[in-house]
Amino acid sequence: MPVEVWAPTAAVVQLVTPTGTAPMTRGDSGWWHGSLPGDPAGVDYGFTVDGSGPFPDPRSRRQPNGVHELSRTFDAEAHAWQDRAWTGRQLAGATIYELHIGTFTPEGTLDAAAGRLDHLVALGVDFVEVLPVNGFNGTHNWGYDGVLWYAVHEGYGGPAAYQRFVDACHTNGIGVIQDVVHNHLGPSGNYLPNFGPYLSDAEGNTWGASVNLDGQDSDEVRGYIIDSALMWLRDYHVDGLRLDAVHALKDHSAVHLLEQLAGEVAALSAAVGRPLTLIAESDLNDPRLITPREANGYGLDAQWSDDFHHAVHVALTGETVGYYADFAPLGALAKVLTRGFFHDGTLSSFRGRHHGRPIDVDRMPAWRLVVASQNHDQIGNRAIGDRLSAQLDTGQLGIAAALTLLGPFTPMLFMGEEWGARTPWQFFTSHPEPELGLATAEGRIGEFARMGWDPAVVPDPQDPATFERSKLDWTELHRPDAGRLLALYQDLAGLRRRLEDLTDPRFNRLAVAFDEADGWLLLTRGTTEIVINLSTSGRWIPVTGESVLLAFANNADAVPTLDDGRVLLPPHSVAVLG
C-alpha cells in the first residue's frame, strides 16, 4: 500500500510501523514516498523526520490512540453507502440545526446522535451543522483545538462512525454541514511544523500562529487545506462546510484561499451531481465573501450574521454591555431585518472604529445570511454559558424563535433551544498536560474578570463537571413549557415550508414597522405579517391581515384579538397573520 508525506526541507524521512522502520524516497516538490504492508485498513504507521519522531501522518484518517501516537490507515471506500437516492439539499429555504456530538446525547458519540434523528425530522430541520470533529488531544472539548484535520476524533467513534452518521442523516432526509477550522491549530499535538512550513512566521491571530497561506511553499499548505475540505464532501458525503473564523485567514494572494476553495468545491459539486455549500463565519460584515466569483467576490454561498443575534438578544434581554451597546434601540433590529447588517460602514463603539460594508439588497438574496438567536459561540462565550432560557420567559423564547425562523434569512437553531433547554453550554476542555489546563483555566477567568464578571462564577473548563453540565437533558422534554415551545418550533417550521412569503429571498418584499416606546414590531413579508409584542402589557398593533395563522404567548390561555385593522397582542407574544 503506497504512502506519502510532504517534508520539503527534510534530509531523511523514514516510515515507522510497529515492526520497524523503512527509508522513504524523495520525489518531486518535497514529497516522500514509501509503502505499507498488508490491507488498506488497520495498519499503524508514522514518520520520523531527520531523526525526530515518530510523528503521526499530517493527513491521518484515524488516530485510535490519540494525536501523539501512530496513525492508522482507513479505507474510506469500504463503507456500503445507503444514500444512493440522496440528491442533496439547497441552502435557500432551508433550516439548520447546530449540534456538538459530545454533548448532544448522554453517550456523546456519532452513533448515539444518529439515534436522535427522529427528533430532528419531527422538528422540521433540513441540515445538521456539526461542530468540529477532527482529531484533538484529550477526551472532550468544543472541537476548535484540532491538530489533525483529516481525522475524526476517536472518542466520537472515529471515521467509520462518521460515515454511518452521515448515511443515517441522508436516509432521514437531512443534510450534513461540517464545521471545519483552517485558521489555527490546537496547542497540543501539532506536529505539522516538523514536516514543513505549515505555519506563518509573519502574522499571528487570536489563537497563535497563522497558517502559511501566502509565503514560501504555501502552495502545498493551501493544497493541504483544500484537500481536507474536499475529503469531507467526497469521502464522507457531507453536503456543506462551515468555515470557522475566516477573518483570521491571513492571505494576501491575488486569489484568496476562500475563492480558490469555492472554485474547487463548485467543480466537485458538478462531478458528484448534488449541491455543496460553503458557509463562512466572519465578523467582517463584508458582502464580498458571498458575492459570486464572476462579480469579483469570493463565491461562498453564505455567511453568519452576528448582527442579527445581537439585535434580537438586546431586544429581548435589555443587555447593552460590550458589543451589545450599539444594538440598544429597537430600530437596530429593524435595520438588520431590512438591510442584513447593522454595522454596514457605521461606527462600532465596541471596536472604536467604523465597521462593515452595505449589502446590495437589490441583488443579494437574504438567504445568504445564516442567523441564530442562540449558537455555540454566543452561549458558550458567556461567563457561565447560560442560554436565553435562563433569562427569558416562555413567551419571549417564542418571540426569538419566530424572529429566527420567519425572518428573511437562513435560520439556524442551537441544540436544545427548541424546548428551552435549561442546561448551560459552557466552555470545557480536557488538556492532559497540567500546565496547559491551568493556563487555559486562568486565561478564561482573567478574560471575564476584565469584562466585569465575578471570577468566582466562571466554571473551570478543565473540571469534568463543566463538560457534564453542558450535556443536553432529554428528560426536560416532559416539562409542559418545553412541550409548548417544541410544538411552536414545529409549527413555525411547518409554516415556513407552506407559505412562499416566508422563504422569499428578496429584501424588497419585506418591510418593518415598530414602536420603540410601546415595544412592538411588525415584520411584513408579502401578504404575511409577523406581529411581536415585546412589552409586559397588551398592545394594539395596526395590521392588514384578516386571520390568525399562528399565535403564541407566555400565558398559554392568552389569545390575540383582531378588530378592524388592528390586533391586540398579549404581553410577550407573537402572532402570524395572513
- 451 and 516, same domain (yes or no): no
108 domain-assigned: no
Q: What whole-number distance in Å separates Cα of residue 238 and Cα of residue 163?
A: 9
**CATH (domain of 22):** 2.60.40.10
Residue 379 binned pLDDT confidence (cut-offs 50, 70, 90)? very high
Q: What whole-number distance in Å separates Cα of residue 209 and Cα of residue 134?
A: 19
- Tell me the mean pLDDT in the region 125-145: 97
3-state secondary structure of 248: helix
The amino acid sitting at 566 is R
Alpha-carbon radius of gyration of the chain:
25
Q: Is pLDDT of 450 > 80? A: no
Residue 446 binned pLDDT confidence (cut-offs 50, 70, 90)? confident
Q: What is the pLDDT of residues 508-566, one digit of tens each?
A: 999 999 999 999 999 999 999 999 999 999 999 999 999 999 999 999 999 999 999 99
Q: What is the pLDDT of residues 250-269, one digit of tens each?
A: 999 999 999 999 999 999 99
3-state secondary structure of 150: strand
Q: What backbone phi and psi angles, to 5 degrees, belong to 259?
A: -65, -40
- 74 and 11, same domain (yes or no): yes
The share of the chain scoring above pLDDT 90, in percent, equals 92
Q: What whole-number distance in Å separates Cα of residue 411 and Cα of residue 353?
A: 29
Euclidean distance between the first and the last CA atom of the chain, given in angstroms as a whole number:
64
Please tell me the predicted confidence (pLDDT) of residue 322: 87
290 domain-assigned: no
Please tell me the predicted confidence (pLDDT) of residue 11: 98
Which of 47, 78, 109 is the endpoint of a domain?
78
- Tell me the mean pLDDT in the region 406-427: 98
Chain mean pLDDT for the chain: 96
Binding site members for substrate = 242-247, 306-310, 376-381
Residue 80: count of CB within 10 angstroms of its CB: 7
Provide, for the chain, the percentages of residues in helix, strand and coil under a 3-state DSSP scheme, each rounded to the nearest 5: 35, 20, 45
Query: Contact at 8 Å (CB) between 305 and 336?
Result: yes
Sequence-distant (6+) residues with CB within 8 A of 117 are: 168, 169, 172, 174
Residues in a beta bridge with 2: 35
Binding site members = 242-247, 306-310, 376-381
488 domain-assigned: no
Among the listed ranges 153-167, 221-235, 403-417, 432-446, which one has the minimum average pLDDT value?
432-446
Residue 445 binned pLDDT confidence (cut-offs 50, 70, 90)? confident
Known catalytic residues are 244, 281
42 domain-assigned: yes
Q: What whole-number distance in Å separates Cα of residue 206 and Cα of residue 227?
A: 25
Pick the more confident residue, 74 or 451: 74
Residue 453 binned pLDDT confidence (cut-offs 50, 70, 90)? confident
Which of 36, 55, 78 is the endpoint of a domain?
78
**Tally of structural domains, the chain:** 3
Place of cell 483570521: 248
Instruction: Give CA separation, 20 vs 7, 17, 23, 99, in Å.
Output: 21, 5, 11, 42
- Tell me the mean pLDDT in the region 432-456: 82
417 domain-assigned: no
Q: What is the pLDDT of residues 33-57, one digit of tens each?
A: 999 987 778 999 999 999 999 999 9
Q: What is the pLDDT of residues 196-210, one digit of tens each?
A: 999 997 777 777 788
431 domain-assigned: yes
Cell reading at 122 = 419531527
Query: Contact at 8 Å (CB) between 551 and 491?
Result: no
- Tell me the mean pLDDT in the region 163-173: 98
Q: Is pLDDT of 14 > 80? A: yes
**CATH (domain of 526):** 2.60.40.1180
- Tell me the mean pLDDT in the region 236-263: 97
DSSP string, 128-142: EEEPP-EE-SSS---
Cell reading at 393 = 420567559
Residue 299 binned pLDDT confidence (cut-offs 50, 70, 90)? very high
- Its domain, for residue 67, covers 2-78
Please tell me the predicted confidence (pLDDT) of residue 38: 76
538 domain-assigned: yes
Measured at the CA of 415, the angle between CA 413 and CA 420, to 5 degrees, comes to: 85
Q: Name the strand (E) or helix (H) holding 438.
A: helix 434-450
Give buried/exposed letters for 402-421 (b at 16+ CB in 10 A, else e): bbbbbbbbbbbbbbbbbbbb
Of the CA atoms within 13 Å of residue 192, those in its CB half-sphere come to 26
Closest alpha carbon to 141 in 181, 195, 84: 181
Which of 443, 469, 495 is the endpoint of a domain?
469
Pick the more confident residue, 66 or 445: 66
91 domain-assigned: no
- Tell me the mean pLDDT in the region 462-481: 97
Residue 393 binned pLDDT confidence (cut-offs 50, 70, 90)? very high
User: E strands of 326-396, at which residues?
Assistant: 346-348, 353-355, 369-371
Closest alpha carbon to 7 in 75, 71, 59, 61: 59
